[in-house]
Structure 1
Amino acid sequence: MSTNDEDAEADSSGHCSTPDSDGEVAEEIAIVSFERKMETAEAIREGIEDRYEAIEILEYHGDVFDEHWGEYDCFVGLMASGIAMRKTAHLLDDKWDDPAIVVVDEELTWAIPITGGHHGANQVAGDLASLGAIPAMTTASEVADKQGVEARAKAMDAHVVNGDSTVQTNLAVLDDELGPVARLDGPKAVLVGDDVTVLKRNGADGCVIGTGSVSGASADSFLAAWWTALERTEYDLDDVEFVATATRKEDETGLLEAARELDLGVVVFDKETLLANEGPTPSRSKELIGWPGVSEAAAIAGGRERELVLEKIGYENEVTVAIGR
């Protein structure tokens, strides 16, 4: 094999499986476990394997990280954090290329991202919460309970093209100065600065579920409403890019639970964005609180074509849905 071929193979073996991606999403995971903890390792794999392309279990030995570095998006170390840190410190090179590392104890009490929080570790730690582990996230946006640009990319089924820019844009997130993701369709040539994060779509164009609700609407109501709406269109669940709603609904428990059940990201839009994309159906909320109807405006704002496929429908006086593209 030539040197160029070897370089190409080395590049392709890196953890970023999406072209041009800076690896904000983990898809292939290795659980590294001591032999005596294999039962717990199997429980972890069984508990989250439906959310990832591949999960393998590697038995721990002194060189296990050296031997498999670059083969996986994320290592889950079923071990003390000190062991994982000492055994990987010499391998760390670049935050955009290094695999993520999460450590978890045998009792599944804590899931601690050590490296690559915004590049898969927070994602995996969050999924381990379904097994009872508490995600101990220390990245600034998560600590502040705000959606960083990497999280926004994941929610929109996109990836970050220019990773270095996220230093500035995530600082803007912390200061509440970033605003919603601007959508630009081409063909166009765009000149951006170092403080502009560029997101690129992962898949083909689909549809966006715009949704609103009364406070406290159940996950079952959201799911039933979304399915009802999709059945009135030519789209299916596989065509849904994400769920869109208003910032004032971003903590709605039922909405978030429903989105997780369908493995969909949630994108929120502020009042100004929704007003600029107001739908055709009159809404009392504009008269009462100054917000336009959330479902139609969110579906329009999130869609590539900025158009509605299905105007607002209601479900059980709890949830409203519109479909955009």
Structure 2
Amino acid sequence: MTDTVVIALPYFLADAGKVASFLGAEVAEFTPEIFPEAFRSRKRIVALMSMGIVVRKIAPLIRDKWTDPAVVVISPDFRYAVPVLGGHHGANDLVKELTGLGLIPVITTATESRGRDSVESVADRTGTDVINRDSTRSVNAALLERDLPIHSIGGPSMVIAGPDVSILVRRGTYSIGIGCRKGTGEEEIKQAVRSALSENGISISDVFVYATTDKKLHETGLVAAVRALSGNLIFLDDETINAQTGTGPSRASKIGLPGVAAPCALATSRYKELIMEKKVYGRVTVAIAR
């Protein structure tokens, strides 16, 4: 199965075949169930049919622009390619790719339609992901008016940034939430993390970020452990942690939190899916999400 599918009404299947061949994709004839199935299993969806059909079919499926597939409509006259969903997340690039078939791209995202960078395009270009995704609204709005500085900071280092600063880190799949008792040493934390990753068949190179509560800001053992693991450590405030649900009981209730490891892993993950619930390793707790 490829990550791209071309969905077409019966009378557009010939054109769908051309598109699929060009993209290295698969063709699927339109059925009432096809869009829910494609949303679950594909990263890119191309539809040969009217925009209205597509909008009605995908509306109940839309969850999050960071995880939904890119959706593009090709007009029935085979002239235009229009991003419908996920412009900054693959759809704009897809319609540009389709110019190779003579299609005219119709891009409506504000930054790209004006020839400006977006946070997401910078992330794609640099092979990074955005941690604080809510920041992209204000940063992209500012990019419409002017160029913004991009600061590249090598490690080991710490960054304290405001809500209008987008933070980009190397790409990875998994977010690791870490809790620890006060004064826990670097070696114990490193061993706990390595054990959790090994038990779940995860390579350390597949880790996106490590996250904990900002109450651990001065835990030198935790900071040193993540540095030794060549990772990025994110400190989350109480509001962010308390917004997470379904993480189970925790000793962290003593400090007014529903937990540390599991909610921190979920808060920084892409798909909000716990791979490993909180597990205790001595004085360290670890949870894994993606």
TM-score, length basis structure 1: 0.49
Show the counterpart of 1:140: 110
The match for 2:125 is 155
- In structure 1, C-alpha distance between the alignment counterparts of 2:133 and 2:7, rounded to whole Å: 28
Cα-to-partner distance string for 1:147-188 (whole Å, 9 max, x where unaligned): 112112222232323322111111111110413x21111122
Alignment of 1:252-271 (within 5 A): none
Q: 1:91-125 deviations in whole A, cap 9, x for unaligned?
A: 11222222221100244310111111111111111
Deviations 1:1-50 (A, max 9, x none): xxxxxxxxxxxxxxxxxxxxxxxxxx92221112332221121122233x
CA distance in 2, matches of 1:141, 1:147: 6
- Does residue 38 (structure 1) correspond to residue 13 (structure 2)? The answer is yes
SS at match of 2:134: helix
Structure with more relative contact order (C-alpha pairs < 8 Å, separation 6 or more) = 1
Structure 1 counterpart SS, 2:27: strand
Aligned to 1:170: 140
**Structure 2 residue ranges without an equivalent (≥5):** 173-290
1:200 matched to 2:175? The reply is no
Distance in structure 2 (CA, Å) of the matches to 1:192 and 1:31: 42
User: In the alignment, which residue of structure 1 is the partner of 2:101?
Assistant: 131
1:70-89 paired onto structure 2 within 5 Å = 70-89=40-59
Partner of residue 89 from structure 2, selected from 101, 119, 125? 119
- Give the letter aligned to residue 67 of structure 1: E
The question of whether the paired residues in 2 share the 8 Å contact of 1:73 and 1:99 is answered with: yes
* 1:272 corresponding residue in structure 2: none
Query: What is the identity, as a one-letter code, of the residue corresponding to 1:108?
Result: F
Matching of residue 103 in structure 1 with residue 73 in structure 2:
yes
Structure 2 distance, partners of 1:190, 1:73, is 32
User: Aligned ranges for residues 16-95 of structure 1 at < 5 Å?
Assistant: 28-49=3-24, 55-95=25-65
Alpha-carbon deviations, 1:54-93, whole Å to 9, x = none? x222221112112232311221111110000011111112
Give the residue type in structure 2 aligned to 1:116.
G
Residue of structure 1 in register with 2:215 after alignment:
none
Separation in structure 2 between the aligned mates of residue 29 and residue 38 of structure 1, nearest angstrom:
16
Instruction: Give the number of aligned pairs.
Output: 171
CA contact (8 A) 2:50 2:76 kept: no
Q: Secondary structure at the match of 1:70?
A: helix
- CA distance, structure 1, for counterparts of residue 59 and residue 99 of structure 2: 26
Q: Secondary structure at the match of 2:163?
A: coil
**For residues 15 and 53 of structure 2, what CA distance do their matches in structure 1 show?**
18
1:183 to 128, 133, 152: 152
- Summarize the Cα distance change of 1:202–1:95 in structure 2 as closer, same or farther, 3 Å threshold: closer
Q: Provide closer, same or farther for how the CA distance between residues 143 and 128 of structure 1 changes in structure 2, counting only shifts above 3 A.
A: same
Aligned partner of 2:177 in structure 1 is none
Q: Which residues of structure 1 form unaligned runs of 5+?
A: 1-26, 50-54, 204-325
CA contact (8 A) 1:108 1:131 kept: no
- Structure 1 Cα separation of the partners of residues 37 and 21 of structure 2: 25
Determine helix, strand or coil for the equivalent of 1:186.
Answer: coil
Deviations 1:178-201 (A, max 9, x none): 13x211111222222221112223
Q: TM-score, normalised by structure 2?
A: 0.55
